[in-house]
Amino acid sequence: MTSRPDNLVIAVDGPAASGKGTVAKALSRHYGLPHMDTGMLYRSVALSLWRFGGDAGNPFEAVRAVDEIGNIDPDDEELRSETVGELASRVSAYPAVRKALLARQQAFAAQPGGAVLDGRDIGTVIAPDAHAKLFVTASAQVRAERRHKEITGRGVDAHFEEVLADIRARDERDAGRAAAPLVPAQDADQLDTSELGVDDAIAAAIDLVEAALVRRS
């Protein structure tokens, strides 16, 4: 393994169901670094908002929900529900919500030893100086198939066409929002997992990180 910096920071970005979370967790294990799934922060805000009956169309109520995320159990199954995922995609578009969550994400990235973070704007906003940046993607069709399998695997009925429509709608919101849109960082390495199994995707990600470290040495 290539010699690495003392505070190695790896940024993993990408759209929903691209495999970025799986890749980020694997990189965390491989390099012995703590991992943050920043999407769960936004899902926590969404779940908090939903539980107190807040309006996802009101940015002030969404910001209020940020103050309550400490009361959300990270193992709560509702965090992974499609309802919460849809709300998270909406509230994450508010600049005030993103600003309210910025400091804790940057503090995680700046901790001694380094970290792996995955999300939508890690390489562009949260950790623009990350030593390695990956943009993990896959076709909308493949991502919808993965999400549909995940949902039905939990015993929840879901129609594939509706899941595909939701994936496309999230992509459009994430890429089109004014605050920290979903775009690859200019110096990010892209990893298309459409035709890759989990093991191959992880191996490819490690190779890309190693290559990035060589370039920086």
Q: What is the mean pLDDT of each run of 10 residues along the chain (217 residues)?
A: 84 94 97 96 95 91 92 89 88 92 95 96 96 97 94 89 92 85 94 96 98 91
Contact 65, 91 (CB under 8 A): yes
Rounded distance between C-alpha atoms, residue 90 and residue 86, angstroms: 7
Task: Set out the domains of the chain in order of their start, with CATH numbers.
Answer: 8-212 (3.40.50.300)
The owner of tokens 């990600």 is 205
- The H-or-E segment that residue 8 falls in is strand 8-13
How much is the pTM?
A: 0.91
Tokens of 1: 């393994």
Reported as a single tens digit per residue, the pLDDT across 17-38 is 999 999 999 999 999 999 999 9
State the amino acid at position 1 in one-letter form: M
Strand runs (DSSP E) across 154-210, as ranges? Answer: 189-192
Can you read off the two tokens belonging to residue 35? 């991992």
